Every structure is written in structure tokens, then in C-alpha cells.
């Protein structure tokens, strides 16, 4: 670590983090004799070490381990590299330190390979490639964060070790900033908020990765879907509905079978017939295009659907709504002539920008995702086609004066794409919206249209998703708003709180009035104190609470509380309905 106040580079930070892992391992072995070390790599923002500790560790044990680490740091122990022969290393891990995990690692190395170890002080050594910081005193600010079980080599048939996670930074300030960010991300975690606000759930009997949308979550989905569908209809898209299953044969023609079969659900077989749940909607929309002979007069033809796709992701990789086995994609395929490509891309970018501005997504950037010519497995091998696609995307972005970053190896198997990148609360980037240019699938399915010249021509396909999959977009929005959805998306837009039982009838009439105007409202009739009802509605992030008592009932008013501004005083009901209508309309 540098002491001159300059920032150290990412790789220097990694060296420091990995050195912290060694200090952690030394501390654990000192505190828990008999502990056997597994591996201790660097990860994003920190490090971990997998250790077979004789006693079960909990988060309560971490401060004690941290204290032992600080002692090692205070002792200013040098890190020293040494080369051992394979024989020497095996001997060490059989006699001085009986460790089957390290022996397994060493056994896998070739005979003539020289093996490096690192000493920390003169009494503790670990097998390691390095590099390391010169001295334990050079460790910056660190904190142990969690401890979890981890199978040796990730194999559930092998022993379970204890994985101790830590984070390390150059300065205390950076550490604190990071810890705050983690706290904020926890507060916004869509899995937690989804449970608190009753948006979605999972069931063991349904299976992992298959969310069940509860009424409130389903409301958010429906509102997003209606809104985007209307925007698409205004822009000349035609919505279709196509099945979730198809013959395997179709995906063989499209190439999806080759590229997706590992993540597709198992094939349903009955005699000759082989059906499978679709991993993508594209080939289905191609069949819609092929349903009739097409003329240039019909192009561009924009076929859209909230299409359901299925991926048989490994259960260990499933997480909340971010990784699921069912996804409903705001999908569309634009079939057009080469001359129309640029205008269509521009139209899609404008639609995405409109949608993002309504949702309040300011922090996004464009990425041009290209193929990797050396990866023949992943990509269709047709360099000329890739160059052509890339040029169309670049020209469109130049016309829109968009800045973008280039990412080789991130294209779809059939063509290059523009990805619109967003950040989650921990700063990781993710892709939700994409625009792809495809010459490949039209040729696989022999698509044609009759041109102005009376001859057959091949159309180009643009694949695009504006809000992407509903699962990921909603996960993103839950975290972005921390559950406080804007009025138009809020599952319950107002809760009416009668002060006493004698105000219930009036409360119900207020509710019907609001429902007639298309609002989603609840009447809280529980035998709770008014304050408790307000507190609960507030916790549910309901935009408006309407308290009604004697005076409101006589005057035809409601006493309005807004979730952030608090008490706004009494308003005539008609006036309140009108102001809600204006606010709701404003999002378009
Ligand atoms: Zn090391
Ligand atoms: Zn597609």
C-alpha cells in the first residue's frame, strides 16, 4: 500500500486483499488449532478463505478473528517467497501441517513444477503463487463480513468448509463508504422488499426459480405491460400471442438448439414428436412473418409480444427475480429492408429513452456488443455478416450522437447488438434493454418479401427488448425506488383510514368514488388505532393515506397524508380525485 496518499491501482488492491486472506488464515489457525486451510482467493471488493475449522464459526466470532489479524499486522511480519519441490511440499502438508486439501492441490501439479510458498512471519507458511505485499503492516482498512458453509471444490459430496468473507480497502474512508453502500443495497434488496410488500413469493411445490406473483406484484407487472404495449401500438407495432412450446426441430433450424440446449428444459417426447419449452421467442415470430407472402409495402413489420421464455438454470444459480427459470420478455422483431435498418434502430433507441425517462432511469450508458471471431463455438462464422451488422449499429449511434463503449465477445450468437447498461445498488452493471441486427435467422428460415422490382428479397431482422424481462426490470425498479413506487405503478395508490366504526360507510363511498376513476385503493377496517393504520400504510409505501372522521363525513372531504410530505390537510373529495388524475397522467 502506498503511503503518499495516491490511489493504488486495482491490481495492487487485489494483492493487498489477497494478503489479507493470508493474514486471516494465520489468525484462524492461531485461534483454532487444528484448522485446515482450503483456498483463499481475491473476490470483488475483498477476499475469502475456505477453512476446515474444528468448531462451527458464527458472525459473533468475527471480531475476535479481526483482533488476531490486527496483532499480526501490528507485528509487522514480512511476506517472504520460497520455492519448494513437489516432494518437499507434500511432505510439509503430511507431517508439519497435515492437510488433505493442500495435498490434493499439490498432487494435481506436474512433477517438475516448482511450487511457491509464502511465509508470513517466520512461523507460518501457505502454498501460494503470489504476489503479496512486502509486509503485513501494509494492509489497509479491512473488515470480516460474513461466514458461510462452502463445499470443498464446490462439490456437495466433498466436506463442507467454512468460508470467511472480508473486504479490504486502501483507506478507512473507502472501507466505510463501501460498507454504507452494502447497507443501502441490503435495504433495497428486491427479495426483502418483495416479501415485505407482498409482491411475489416462491413455493417448494412449484419449484425454485419460478416466482408466484401476488396481487400487488401482478399489479405492477400489468401496469408496466399495459403501458409499454400502448407505447408500442402508438409506434406501429403489432402484438401477437405465440405458444411457449415448439418442436425441437424449429430450434435446430434457428440455431438455438446448439447454443441453448444446456439451459433448456428437458425435451418432452412422445413417439415421433419432440417438444420443448422455448428459450427464446424469435423463431415463433419468424413463423408469424412466414404465415403469408410479404410485400415491401408491409415493411417494416414490427411483431411484438410479452413472450414467455424458459431456462433450466441450475438451482444454485437462481436468486430472487434476478435469475429465474421463467421470464416474460418485452420482445419484438422488426422485419425490414436494409434501407430501413437505421431508422428502425433510431426509433427503438428513442422508445427506450422515453421509457427510461418516465421510469426515472438517468444513470445508463450504451454498449456496442460484438462477436469474438476466435470463438467458433459461440458465434456464427461469417465475418462479412458481422462487419455489416456492426456498421449499421455504429451508423445509427452516430446519427443519435450517442457515446458508447465496445465489448467484444458480448454479442448474440447470430449478430451484434447495442446493450443499454444500468447499475444496481452495489454498482454492478447489468443489461436490461437490447437492440440486435440479424442477417442470420432470416437466411436460416429463408425469409422473403417481394420488392418494388417484383423480385424476391431477403428481409433483415432487428430483435429488441425495451424493458427487457419483467422479472429483471421489476427487480431493478424495486431496488431503484426502494419499494416506494411512483403513483402510477404503486400497487395500492391510497389507503382510506376511518377514524371510528361510524366512519366506515363514508370511507367505503370514498373508495368507490376513487375506484370509478380507475384508482387502486383499500379501506383499512381493522380494529386498530388510526396511528397504527397510518404507520402500516406508510411501511407499505402507499402514496396516499386518506383519514376520514366526523368533519370529513359532514363536509364531503378527506384528510390527506402523503407518504413523504406527511399531512396535507382536508380537501374536498372531488378536488383530491382530480389532483390524483393529473398526477397519474403526468407519467406519459
Ligand atoms: Zn497468497
Ligand atoms: Zn429475438
Domain range list for the chain: 10-188, 214-480, 494-585
Distance in angstroms (rounded) separating the CA atoms of residues 142 and 73: 11
Rounded distance from Cα 364 to ligand 2 centre (Å)? 22
Rounded distance from Cα 464 to ligand 2 centre (Å)? 7
Q: What is the pLDDT of residue 112?
A: 80
Distance in angstroms (rounded) separating the CA atoms of residues 126 and 50: 13
Among the bound ligands, the one closest to the CA of 283: 2
Question: What does the pLDDT average to over 289-316?
Answer: 95
Rounded distance from Cα 10 to ligand 1 centre (Å)? 17
Q: What is the pLDDT of residue 2?
A: 34
Rounded distance from Cα 172 to ligand 1 centre (Å)? 23
Superfamily for domain range 214-480 = Bira Bifunctional Protein; Domain 2 (3.30.930.10)
Rounded distance from Cα 16 to ligand 1 centre (Å)? 10
Mapped onto helix, strand or coil, the DSSP state of residue 12 is helix
Question: What does the pLDDT average to over 174-188?
Answer: 94
Among the bound ligands, the one closest to the CA of 279: 2
Among the bound ligands, the one closest to the CA of 37: 1
* Confidence grade of residue 7 (pLDDT, cut at 50, 70, 90): low
Question: What does the pLDDT average to over 40-59?
Answer: 95
Rounded distance from Cα 74 to ligand 2 centre (Å)? 59
Q: Residues near 425 by Cβ (< 8 Å), separated by ≥ 6?
A: 181, 184, 185, 188, 479
Q: Does the pLDDT at position 6 exceed 60?
A: no
Rounded distance from Cα 468 to ligand 2 centre (Å)? 12
Q: Does the pLDDT at position 1 exceed 70?
A: no
Distance in angstroms (rounded) separating the CA atoms of residues 90 and 462: 58
Alpha helices in 162-214 (DSSP H): 172-188, 190-196
Q: Cβ(326)–Cβ(446) under 8 Å?
A: no
Rounded distance from Cα 197 to ligand 1 centre (Å)? 45
Mapped onto helix, strand or coil, the DSSP state of residue 569 is strand
Residue with cell 428460415: 445
Label the pairing between strands 301-310 and 326-336.
antiparallel
Rounded distance from Cα 176 to ligand 1 centre (Å)? 25
Rounded distance from Cα 425 to ligand 2 centre (Å)? 29
Rounded distance from Cα 18 to ligand 1 centre (Å)? 6
> Of the given ranges (15-19, 120-124, 411-415), which has the lowest mean pLDDT?
411-415
Rounded distance from Cα 342 to ligand 1 centre (Å)? 52
Q: What is the pLDDT of residue 547?
A: 97
Rounded distance from Cα 167 to ligand 2 centre (Å)? 40
Same fold, 214-480 and 494-585: no
Residue with cell 408500442: 232
Rounded distance from Cα 487 to ligand 2 centre (Å)? 33
Rounded distance from Cα 117 to ligand 1 centre (Å)? 8
Kindly state the percentage of the chain with pLDDT values over 90.
87
Q: What is the pLDDT of residue 425?
A: 81
* Confidence grade of residue 588 (pLDDT, cut at 50, 70, 90): low
Q: Does the pLDDT at position 3 exceed 50?
A: no
Question: What does the pLDDT average to over 481-485?
Answer: 96
Rounded distance from Cα 34 to ligand 1 centre (Å)? 20
Rounded distance from Cα 389 to ligand 1 centre (Å)? 45
CA dist list (Å): 444 to 103, 196, 337, 339:
52, 48, 17, 21
Question: What does the pLDDT average to over 330-343?
Answer: 96
Segment 69-121, tens digit of pLDDT: 999 999 999 999 999 999 999 999 999 899 999 999 999 998 888 899 999 99
Q: What is the pLDDT of residue 138?
A: 94
Rounded distance from Cα 131 to ligand 1 centre (Å)? 7
Residue with cell 462479412: 384
Rounded distance from Cα 283 to ligand 1 centre (Å)? 50
Rounded distance from Cα 33 to ligand 1 centre (Å)? 20
Superfamily for domain range 494-585 = Anticodon-binding domain (3.40.50.800)
Segment 486-541, tens digit of pLDDT: 999 999 999 999 999 999 999 999 999 999 999 999 999 999 999 999 999 999 99
Rounded distance from Cα 175 to ligand 1 centre (Å)? 22
Q: What is the pLDDT of residue 172?
A: 96
Rounded distance from Cα 239 to ligand 1 centre (Å)? 57
Among the bound ligands, the one closest to the CA of 126: 1
Distance in angstroms (rounded) separating the CA atoms of residues 401 and 82: 55
Rounded distance from Cα 21 to ligand 1 centre (Å)? 8
Among the bound ligands, the one closest to the CA of 303: 2
Among the bound ligands, the one closest to the CA of 39: 1
Among the bound ligands, the one closest to the CA of 281: 2
Question: What does the pLDDT average to over 156-166?
Answer: 95
Question: What is the maximum span of the chain, computed from C-alpha positions, in angstroms?
Answer: 94
Q: What is the pLDDT of residue 316?
A: 82
Q: What is the pLDDT of residue 375?
A: 85
* Confidence grade of residue 5 (pLDDT, cut at 50, 70, 90): very low
Q: Of 303, 292, 290, nearest to 333 (Cα)?
A: 303
Q: What is the pLDDT of residue 381?
A: 84
Which three cell numbers, joined as nine digits, stand for 128? 501460494
Segment 197-221, tens digit of pLDDT: 999 999 999 999 999 999 999 999 9
Rounded distance from Cα 56 to ligand 1 centre (Å)? 25
Instruction: Give the CA-trace dihedral at 106, 108, 112, 116, to 10 degrees.
Output: -40
Q: Does the pLDDT at position 396 exceed 70?
A: yes
CA dist list (Å): 331 to 237, 239, 458:
11, 10, 22
Strand order in the sheet with 125-127: 79-84, 115-120, 125-127
Among the bound ligands, the one closest to the CA of 414: 2
Q: Find the angle CA(209)-CA(213)-CA(219) to the nearest 5 degrees.
A: 145
Strand order in the sheet with 557-562: 521-523, 494-498, 544-548, 557-562, 566-572
Q: Of 502, 474, 526, nearest to 224 (Cα)?
A: 474
Rounded distance from Cα 1 to ligand 1 centre (Å)? 16
Mean pLDDT of the chain: 94
Rounded distance from Cα 418 to ligand 2 centre (Å)? 13
Question: What does the pLDDT average to over 19-28?
Answer: 98
Question: What does the pLDDT average to over 457-474?
Answer: 96
Fold of 10-188: 3.30.980
Q: What is the pLDDT of residue 4?
A: 38
Rounded distance from Cα 61 to ligand 2 centre (Å)? 51
Among the bound ligands, the one closest to the CA of 284: 2
Rounded distance from Cα 441 to ligand 2 centre (Å)? 9
Q: Does the pLDDT at position 62 exceed 80?
A: yes
Amino acid at each position: 500500500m502506498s503511503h503518499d496518499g495516491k490511489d493504488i491501482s486495482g491490481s495492487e488492491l487485489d494483492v493487498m486483499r489477497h494478503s489479507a486472506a493470508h493474514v486471516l488464515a494465520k489468525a484462524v489457525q492461531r485461534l483454532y488449532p487444528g484448522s485446515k486451510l482450503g483456498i483463499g482467493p481475491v473476490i470483488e471488493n475483498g477476499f475469502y478463505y475456505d477453512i476446515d475449522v474444528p468448531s462451527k464459526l458464527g458472525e459473533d466470532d468475527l471480531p475476535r478473528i479481526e483482533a488476531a489479524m490486527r496483532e499480526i499486522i501490528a507485528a509487522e511480519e514480512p511476506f517472504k517467497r520460497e520455492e519448494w519441490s513437489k516432494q518437499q511440499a507434500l511432505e510439509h502438508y503430511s507431517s508439519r501441517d497435515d492437510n488433505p486439501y493442500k495435498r490434493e492441490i499439490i498432487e494435481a501439479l506436474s512433477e517438475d513444477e516448482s511450487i511457491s510458498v509464502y511465509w508470513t512471519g517466520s512461523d507460518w507458511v501457505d502454498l501460494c503463487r503470489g504476489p503479496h505485499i512486502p509486509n503485513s503492516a501494509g494492509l489497509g482498512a479491512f473488515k470480516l463480513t460474513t461466514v458461510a458453509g462452502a463445499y470443498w471444490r464446490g462439490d456437495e459430496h466433498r466436506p463442507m468448509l467454512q468460508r470467511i468473507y472480508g473486504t479490504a480497502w486502501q483507506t478507512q474512508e473507502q472501507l466505510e463508504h463501501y460498507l454504507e453502500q452494502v447497507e443501502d443495497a441490503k435495504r433495497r434488496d428486491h427479495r426483502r422488499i418483495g416479501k415485505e410488500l407482498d409482491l411475489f413469493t416462491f413455493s417448494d411445490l412449484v419449484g425454485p426459480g419460478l416466482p408466484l406473483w401476488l396481487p400487488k406484484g401482478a399489479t405492477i407487472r400489468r401496469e408496466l405491460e399495459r403501458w409499454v404495449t400502448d407505447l408500442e401500438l402508438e409506434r406501429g407495432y403489432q402484438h401477437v400471442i405465440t405458444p411457449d412450446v415448439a418442436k425441437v426441430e424449429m430450434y435446430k433450424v434457428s440455431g438455438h438448439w446448439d447454443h441453448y440446449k444446456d439451459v433448456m428444459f428437458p425435451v418432452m417426447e412422445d413417439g415421433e414428436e419432440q417438444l420443448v419449452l422455448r428459450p427464446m421467442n424469435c423463431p415463433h415470430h419468424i413463423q408469424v412473418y412466414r404465415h403469408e407472402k410479404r410485400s415491401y409495402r408491409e415493411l417494416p413489420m414490427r411483431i411484438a409480444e410479452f413472450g414467455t421464455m424458459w431456462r433450466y438454470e441450475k438451482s444454485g444459480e437462481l436468486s430472487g427475480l434476478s435469475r429465474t427459470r421463467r421470464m416474460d420478455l418485452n420482445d419484438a422483431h422488426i422485419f425490414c429492408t436494409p434501407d430501413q435498418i437505421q431508422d428502425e434502430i433510431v426509433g427503438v433507441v428513442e422508445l427506450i429513452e422515453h421509457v427510461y425517462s418516465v421510469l426515472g432511469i438517468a444513470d445508463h450508458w450504451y454498449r456496442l456488443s460484438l462477436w469474438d471471431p476466435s470463438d467458433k463455438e459461440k458465434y456464427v462464422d461469417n465475418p462479412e455478416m458481422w462487419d455489416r451488422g456492426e456498421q449499421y449499429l455504429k451508423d445509427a449511434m452516430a446519427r443519435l450522437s450517442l457515446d458508447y463503449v465496445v465489448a467484444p465477445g458480448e454479442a448474440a450468437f447470430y449478430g451484434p447488438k447495442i446493450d443499454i447498461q444500468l447499475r444496481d445498488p452495489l454498482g454492478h452493471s447489468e443489461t436490461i434493454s437490447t437492440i440486435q441486427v440479424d442477417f442470420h435467422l432470416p437466411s436460416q428460415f429463408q425469409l422473403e418479401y417481394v420488392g418494388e422490382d417484383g423480385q424476391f428479397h431477403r428481409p433483415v431482422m432487428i430483435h429488441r427488448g425495451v424493458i427487457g424481462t419483467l422479472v429483471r426490470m421489476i427487480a431493478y425498479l424495486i431496488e431503484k425506488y426502494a419499494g416506494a413506487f411512483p403513483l402510477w405503478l404503486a400497487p395500492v395508490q391510497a389507503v382510506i383510514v376511518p377514524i371510528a366504526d361510524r366512519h366506515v360507510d363514508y370511507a367505503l363511498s370514498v373508495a368507490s368514488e376513487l375506484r370509478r376513476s380507475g384508482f387502486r385503493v383499500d379501506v383499512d377496517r381493522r380494529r386498530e388505532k388510526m396511528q397504527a393504520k397510518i404507520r402500516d400504510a406508510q411501511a407499505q409505501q402507499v402514496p396516499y393515506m386518506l383519514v376520514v372522521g366526523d368533519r370529513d363525513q359532514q363536509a364531503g372531504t378527506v384528510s390527506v397524508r402523503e407518504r413523504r410530505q406527511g399531512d396535507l390537510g382536508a380537501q374536498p373529495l372531488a378536488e383530491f380525485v382530480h389532483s390524483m388524475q393529473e398526477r397519474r397522467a403526468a407519467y406519459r
